[in-house]
Amino acid sequence: MADRRYNSPVKYRIDLATGETQKVSEREWAGAQPYRLYQDSIIRDFRNTPEPLSYKGKTFARRGAKWPLYPEHATRLSPDASFLAVNSWDGEMKICPELPGGFGCRNHIEGHYYVEIYDTGTAALALTLSGQFHGVDPMDLFRRSAWFSSRYYVLPVDSDSLDRFVLCDVPLAAESGKK
């Protein structure tokens, strides 16, 4: 994946130990080292993808009825291969072509998105993310989802300005789910 930075007008840093955010100056931002995004998928072609999904001899279910449009957006494998995010959705997406004069059908995009993050060693569900979408293509959310270490998974929930996202400390969530 090409090295790229998404920039918002206001820049923040996240203290990963506490989860707190703080605004930073342009100087601090310029001196920061960006994290590498990991967006590896275990699915290359839906025609050869078993249901349920299989990886290293274990099975992983998707919650939604539909896979993302492109197979490379269907899963996200953590860099150390210890966790697997499985993306799916259900709902309706009707995108109309633009016609002169604005005549024709109207776009209709709504439904639910789902991300199940599994421990690949045990196939246990570590974390579930879900939400509704209205007018926002969930494929953009899946396409931009990524790991930025073997610990942290990020899912944007705003595909336009990229200023809203869910940041998950997956091992911490998995451990707290066992209690």
Q: How would DSSP label each residue in 40-84?
A: --S-S-GGG--SSEEETTEEE--SSSB--SSGGGSEEE-TTSSEE
Is 170 a member of any domain? yes
Sign of CA dihedral 123, 125, 126, 132: positive
pTM of this structure:
0.82
Asked if residue 50 has a cis previous peptide bond (ω within 30° of 0), the answer is no
- Residue at 78 is within a domain: yes
30 within some domain: no
| Residue 124 within any structural domain of the chain | yes
Is residue 164 a part of any domain in this protein? yes
Q: What is the mean pLDDT of residues 153-176?
A: 83
Residue 151 lies in a domain: yes
Encoded amino acid at 96, one letter: C
SS3 174: helix
Per-residue pLDDT at 96: 75
Q: What is the pLDDT of residue 110?
A: 92
Q: What angle do CA 157, 106, 113 make, to 5 degrees?
A: 25
Domain range for 132 is: 38-177
Our count of domains for the chain comes to 1
Residue 7 domain-assigned? no
The closest alpha carbon to 127, from 154, 92, 164, 94, belongs to 154
* pLDDT at 73 > cutoff 70: yes
Residue 48 belongs to a domain: yes
Q: What is the pLDDT of residues 11-41, one digit of tens each?
A: 888 877 777 888 888 888 888 887 788 999 9
Residue partners of 106: CB distance under 8 A and separation at least 6: 96
pLDDT of residue 127: 94
The number of helix segments (H) and strand segments (E) in the chain equals 3, 11
Neighbouring residues of 150: CB distance < 8 A, sequence distance ≥ 6: 78, 79, 80, 82, 83
